[in-house]
Homo-oligomer: A and B are copies of this chain.
Amino acid sequence: MNAAPLRRLPPTLEAVAAAAGVSRSTVSRVVNGSTRVSPDVLTAVTAAIEELQYIPNRAARSLANRQTMAIALVVPEETTRFFGDPYFASIVHGITKGLEPSDYVLTLQLTSPFSPSEKTVRYLLGGNVDGALVVSHHSGDHFLASLGKELPVVFGGRPLRPDEQTSYFVDVDNTAAAEMGTQFLIDLGRTRIATISGAADMPAGIDRAAGWKRAMDGAGLRSDLLADGDFTMAGGARAMRELLDRAPDLDAVFVASDLMATGAVSVLRERGRVIPADVAVVGFDDSPAATSGEVELTTVHQPSVEMGEAMAHMLLALLRGEDPEPVNIMPTRIVVRAST
């Protein structure tokens, strides 16, 4: 007893061919946009397709031409973190936009940040997708880079180890961008500038901390005030408390993500600091978090949506068999708001 309703079987290529009075080969050609079809045949076939509401069977097509027309969106993050940081929203938005004009669909693979689940690996290597996009603050692990020979993969964010030359990725120059953000604070006359960094095992975390240090060193300021905020709002708050305890006299803080900055701002106000009079704050990302908190944040803007699009375009190029630049570093800039 199968409760599923019986459905009329969808029309096949065969049916269209019969309706149009041509062979299946011909229908296949028009479906796939081949030029070698005479005008009248084209018209007849198009009409038949329209009339029968024909939609090609994806499985049959995949089997025949060895393409799945699917792309995996691999997210090695905790679900809550992935959904909790607006930065990801922008990236995914960009990816969706970039893939829109193509016929590829996106498949979601939420997996552990440490090592991909067996199901994910099997899925990726089982010929279920034509390529993969990896989006994560952890993506520097490039755990899939080894699969680069098996499957075209594009990462969001540089590889953790520079020797992984095989990787394709799009990123910003996090070090230079963080240096710029910190320099902005220095130019404002601040001298006791702390930083709240992302986790030390993530390239974005490492590089932004390095950029802060470079600016501080360059200005002859002490770079002793660093606390790890782990790219979460709660972590940002925690780090801010720690920094305030260590250095009640700090007059500025460069925070490696807007989300963490939101947490930091709460703590600063809780402790009676006026922003920016007492403490100036510069964030990073220019995500919606920058403008949705208690104080609108001055921040280092990175073009997240465009980065997602660029990832999609790079993968699409790879899938076309082209040879795109493997590294795309996009520009950043400072956006000044109320927190400085």
Q: Check A59–B59 contact: CB distance below 8 A.
A: yes
**Counting CB contacts under 8 A, is A277 at the interface?**
no
Q: Check B105–A93 contact: CB distance below 8 A.
A: no
Distance in Å from the Cβ of A273 to the closest Cβ of chain B? 15
Taking CB atoms, residues of chain B closer than 8 Å to A80 are: 86, 89-90, 93, 288
**Counting CB contacts under 8 A, is A57 at the interface?**
yes
Distance in Å from the Cβ of A218 to the closest Cβ of chain B? 35
Chain B residue with Cβ nearest A88: B83
Q: Report how many copies the assembly holds.
A: 2
Chain B residue with Cβ nearest A322: B3
Taking CB atoms, residues of chain B closer than 8 Å to A186 are: none
Q: Report if A96-B79 is in contact (Cβ < 8 Å); known contacts: A84-B288, A108-B106, A294-B266.
A: yes
**Counting CB contacts under 8 A, is A20 at the interface?**
no
Q: Check B79–A68 contact: CB distance below 8 A.
A: no
Q: Check A58–B126 contact: CB distance below 8 A.
A: yes
Taking CB atoms, residues of chain B closer than 8 Å to A119 are: 100
Q: Report if A108-B107 is in contact (Cβ < 8 Å); known contacts: A60-B63, A83-B86, A125-B55.
A: yes
Cα separation A26 to B318 with both chains bound (whole Å): 39
Q: Check A106–B105 contact: CB distance below 8 A.
A: no
Q: Check A58–B110 contact: CB distance below 8 A.
A: no
Q: Check B79–A92 contact: CB distance below 8 A.
A: yes
Taking CB atoms, residues of chain B closer than 8 Å to A110 are: 92, 96
Distance in Å from the Cβ of A293 to the closest Cβ of chain B? 8
Q: Check B108–A58 contact: CB distance below 8 A.
A: no
Chain B residue with Cβ nearest A100: B119
Chain B residue with Cβ nearest A73: B108
Chain B residue with Cβ nearest A70: B107
Q: Check B60–A321 contact: CB distance below 8 A.
A: no
Q: Which of A4-12, A30-38, A138-146, A157-165 contacts B (4 or more CB under 8 A)?
A: A4-12
**Counting CB contacts under 8 A, is A127 at the interface?**
yes
Q: Report if A79-B93 is in contact (Cβ < 8 Å); known contacts: A3-B323, A84-B86.
A: yes
Taking CB atoms, residues of chain B closer than 8 Å to A266 are: 293-294
Distance in Å from the Cβ of A136 to the closest Cβ of chain B? 14
Distance in Å from the Cβ of A296 to the closest Cβ of chain B? 12
Cα separation A96 to B108 with both chains bound (whole Å): 10
Q: Check B127–A10 contact: CB distance below 8 A.
A: yes
- 25 cross-chain CB contacts under 8 A: A1-B321, A2-B321, A3-B323, A4-B152, A5-B149, A10-B126, A55-B122, A55-B125, A55-B126, A55-B127, A56-B126, A57-B126, A57-B127, A58-B127, A59-B60, A59-B62, A70-B107, A80-B90, A80-B288, A82-B89, A83-B89, A105-B128, A106-B107, A266-B293, A294-B294
Residues of A participating in the B interface, judged by any CB pair closer than 8 Å: 1-5, 7, 10, 55-60, 62-63, 68, 70, 73, 79-80, 82-84, 86, 88-90, 92-93, 96, 100, 105-110, 119, 122-123, 125-128, 149-150, 152, 233-234, 263, 266, 288, 292-294, 318, 321-323
